[in-house]
Structure 1
Amino acid sequence: MKFGSGARRQAQRGGFVLGMIVGLLVGLAIALGVALYIAKVPVPFMDKVGHRTPEQEAQEAEKLKTWDPNAGLAGKQAPRPVPAASEAGSAPLPYVGGASSPVPVAVVGKPASAAKAASAAAPAEAKSKRDPAAILSGAPVPNHADKPAEPAAAGADPFVYFVQAGAYSSANDAEQQRARLAMQGLVAKVSEREQAGRNVYRVRLGPFDSRDEAERQQDRLKGAGMDSALVRVERSKAQP
């Protein structure tokens, strides 16, 4: 009985190993078949692109050498060139009048040097108005505040206006305030006046012919963080 059971176990082990070997062989055969199938089947989106021959590549390179990107614009009219200054100066002068008595009319252009001088003078003048060194040195600065008060015309405002940026008991303090205004590009004057038995040094901008002009300067001081007061004086008694 023992011998029969041992033979049966060996037969079972031999059948299991044989089945495993057969399964592996079948799996390898299936994998090999799938690999061959994938290698022979065309890949989508890749085989649709045709392969160029060397002759086609040479023809394409020759076309690219002679290709003109602006060929489509050849039918459009080219812009007319602008005549140079020398050509414009040599053009014939226009005539005004009838055919019997033509009168030449000369076209006088502004010289280039004069135009350059005018353009250079404008920034220089604007700079001088805002140059703190020129303001503090007392150099003549073109400013409407330097104009003396003119007599009132008929219907004009009988008053002139000042913007007072401070009143100090010390001349040194008044000059410091004047320097701060000069840093803002504003021309101010320091005037001395006796008040209540002591000298007061006033820092004022002006005179201004209109209240609106004075208020604009006052708004400018306010924007710079400086307090000020609007002072109205009769035109005949106007003093800084």
Structure 2
Amino acid sequence: MSKQKQRGGFAMGLIVGLLLGLGIALGVALYVTKAPVPFVNKLPQRTAEQDAQEAERNRNWDPNAPLAGRAGAKAASGVVTPAVAPPATQPSPQITIGGTPAPAVEGRPAERAPAVQPQAQSQIPSVKPEQRPTEPRADGVRPDGSRGSFFVQAGAYARMEDAEQQRAKLAIQGFSAKVMEREQSGRTVFRVRLGPFDTRDEAEAQQKKLEGAGVEANLVAIQR
């Protein structure tokens, strides 16, 4: 009888232990599923209607268009000479002889009269040569003595969430980037940039590293 009681008590204790273990495991599972996951709920939640409005507003807008247009703007240079209209011919003054006016003599064309040529030359406005923007040298020092800062831009986005995702991808690849906010064409643009660098050589070296990692990058020079 004593052996049967011991066996029965051991079986009962085993069953109770299993039930307690299952209860604890169930509680832990419920806690894990209900608890917020780090870095997932960090960004603000957006509704589907807000995403649709944002997509409609940014359908035909390219935030990287100003960088692509800088190369074409540098090539458009030159001096435009205004066209000079030929001077008008003036009739000769009437000469009075004995109280009777003499017949008017038709004036010659202005280009044949030597007295009119200096007047035509004086009407040509002076054209000043166009002043081109000074380009920074390789050491970052411009011809006027000021220094320039160089950044490497790895993308520009209309939403903060997209810029943060790009920055996180670069951080995983070993690049230290930051998000810079700026108003452009009446809209807020979030730019992912690396830098600043003191010289153009350093910025170009960083740009080549990004392109080698499969990231499209642009070099941006800022005068200070």
TM-score (norm 2): 0.35
Which structure's residues are more often helix, by fraction?
1
- Structure 1 or 2, whichever has the larger Rg, is 1
